[in-house]
Each structure stands twice: as C-alpha cells, then as structure tokens.
Structure 1
C-alpha cells in the first residue's frame, strides 16, 4: 500500500514524540495527547494509524512500546538505514557531525567529495573520492543519498547516483534534478525556505501595523 509522503512524515513525527514520552517514563498515550504533541488533531492520528493497520483501544489509550514497534517496522527502522553523502563542504560537513541521525536509526556510512584535500579514510565516517562512489554504493547496497554539491555539478552527480542504484535523493543543491520516475527526490532549499519565512513574518507585521 502506497501511502502519501505527508502521512509518512506524520508517522515520523509521531515516532519522535513517542520516544520523548517513553524517555519521560510514560507507558501509554491517547490520540489527543499524541496529536497535540505532533501538531495534528486526534482524528488525524487515528486516521493515520488505521491507514497503516495500527490498532489500539481508544478508552485505554495506546501502548507506547507497541506503537514504536509498529511504526519502526513501517518505516524500516528495525535495523540502521545506511545512506551516503556527496559533497563534504560546509553544509555536508555539518550533516556528517549531526548526532540526531543515530536516534532515527539512520547512519551515514560514507561521504564523497571531488576535493582530494577533504579525503580521509580514518574517523567514524570516511570521506572518499567520487571515483569510488559507484562501486561503494553497489557493494554496500545503499539506496538513499544526501546531495550537498554545487548546482553546477548536481545533475551530473545525480545521474551517477541513479546509475549506481540509488532510489532516493535528499537534495540540498539549489537545482531541480532530472531523474527517472522510479527515483524519489526530496528538495531542501534553505534560501527559499528562509525567503518564504521572511515574507510571512514581514506580511504579518504589515497586517498588524495596518490593523493598529
């Protein structure tokens, strides 16, 4: 069953909230409490759980461990999910140092860069030459890549990833990638996101000043 990407993203949010609740010592949670923590309605929580075949007792609440087991299975988190990162510049290096991936059962197993000065086979995450990208992905059967390269080379690198067998790309490069339909691309353009946020902040201030 192919669920919408929005529904899957909500499952990820539920999982983070459930982990926090478990860390606080809670054993059960009600849909209204989980919805409030995740920023959605209780009806949406129950609808999502029903769509993914997650059952529960509305009167007694849901067992947190059961929910985590089911959501982990749905999201494929029973075992660490391996990804590669291409582009070990400022943004790429920051992502390599991010510790939050471990809690989400995500592991960056290697990074790749065209600059020999960045190459290193020591440390927790090796930074390897781009020439080794194809063989590494094939050997380790990696399916997802994080792309943090300049726009000028993003399409070329994306084509290399696709030919190596990558099925999903988290794209931080400021360019729209042309890939086969079977490959899923999630674009994150920090400049556009910030521009959008600034617009809404400024619009809210203008509205407030006009109303006053």
Structure 2
C-alpha cells in the first residue's frame, strides 16, 4: 500500500474538520485553512490529496461537500460501518457510551462477553455470549471488532474473531497480538499514552529550569 498510516490518520482528521465546517455553514475551504485547523501545513494537505487524485482550484479552493464525499469513498465510509465490541467490562461499557462513533458513521451493532452475567443490554447494545460471535459475524458481514478484554485472554479472543471472519481489530488490551499479515490491528494502550505525555511534560519542565539557571549564571 502506497499510502502511509499517518496519511490515513490525517485524512480522518480532515474529514472530521470538514464535517464540522459544513455544519457551521461553510461551502469552500483552502488548503492553508484546512492545514491550520488540523495542525499540518498547506503543502502536506495538498500532498495527501494528490496521492488520491484530489485536486482543487488555486483561486476557488475545495468544495467541502465534494471533499467529504471523496474522503468518505477513500476511507470506505460512504456507508455506515458496522463494528462489534468484545469485552463488556468497564472499558467496553464506556466505549458503548462514546457519541463520537455515531458522528463518524460507525455503529457498534453488538457486544460479546464470556461472563453470562453481562449478557444484557448495555446502552441499548445487546451483549451476547462470546460463543455466538462466529454466527453473528458471518450472518451480519461484520469485518471490524473492538477488543476490550483482559490481556491474558486477548490473543485467544483475537484468534476466535479472525476465525469468525474479522479482518480488523482495534485492540485496547495491553498486549501485542500475533495475527496473520492480512489482519489489520491498531493498538491503543492508554497507560503508555499517558506515560508518553508525562515524559514530555517532565522533559519540558527540566529544560525550562535549565534555561532559567543558565540565564541566572549569565
């Protein structure tokens, strides 16, 4: 694939920003405006668009509706995307309440859990026994799953999902999954993300203290 993961992530940010601007009544946008709103340069915006054959007008910019339609097609979001959730614990339940999925045309159609006590409705989403995931995925043609299970069972559950026909996994378990090359896995480790933020906060504070010390000495 010629497109990089970072490029696809930027397209997602462009799409979200364009939808927000459309809701505010904007009809056109220039690459420098879109770049400023998404934290990249205008050159990067044009480079990303050119990779997918998207062109604008130097004087007229881009038509927002056309951009949204084109990016939807590129991202495969020209229709509602059906996703299942595996793991209906604290994190899984919180994910079912997240309103951002609906805004991005993503629909969690069902949840699954190994605990029979959790086989109820959570935020209007039915939680099924994990053994039912095979039939559900095949009958409903679901390709993507969100994995929010303990790390000790994450590998086993991921193998079940792949056997059922899942092609992509958003993995919240703090473990590296071993999957076939054809399977797409994105890992979200909240603890590592926080550690990363804490490191840079501490590093900047150390640099600021050092700068002050150097200023006093001079």
TM-score with structure 2 length normalisation?
Answer: 0.94
Correspondence for 2:138: 138
The alpha carbon displacement at 1:68 in A equals 0.7
CA gap of 1:122–1:94, structure 2 versus 1, over 3 A, is closer
Summarize the Cα distance change of 1:191–1:122 in structure 2 as closer, same or farther, 3 Å threshold. Answer: closer
Q: Describe how 1:63-212 pairs up with structure 2 within 5 A.
A: 63-120=63-120, 124-212=124-212
State the Cα distance separating 1:74 from its structure 2 match.
Answer: 1.0
> 2:166 aligns to what SS in structure 1?
coil
Specify the SS of the correspondent of 2:125: coil
Shift of 1:124: 2.8
Structure 2 unaligned residues grouped into runs of 5+: 213-218
2:111–2:126 contact (8 Å) kept in structure 1? yes
- Larger radius of gyration between Structure 1 and Structure 2: 2
What are the superposed Cα offsets for residues 126-163 of structure 1, whole Å, 9 maximum, x if unpaired? 10000101111111111110000000000000000111
Aligned to 1:24: 24
Q: Is the 8 A contact 2:97 2:123 kept in 1?
A: no
Shift of 1:33: 0.1
TM-score when normalising by structure 1: 0.97
Separation (CA, whole Å) in 1 of partners of 2:86 and 2:2: 28
Distance in structure 2 (CA, Å) of the matches to 1:114 and 1:44: 45
Q: CA deviation at 1:43?
A: 0.4
State the 4+ residue runs in structure 1 displaced beyond 2 angstroms.
121-124
Aligned residues: 212
Residue in structure 1 matched with residue 215 of structure 2 by the alignment: none
Structure 1: gaps (5+ residues): none
* Cα drift, residue 211 of structure 1: 1.1
**CA–CA distance in 2 between the matches of 1:142 and 1:129?**
17
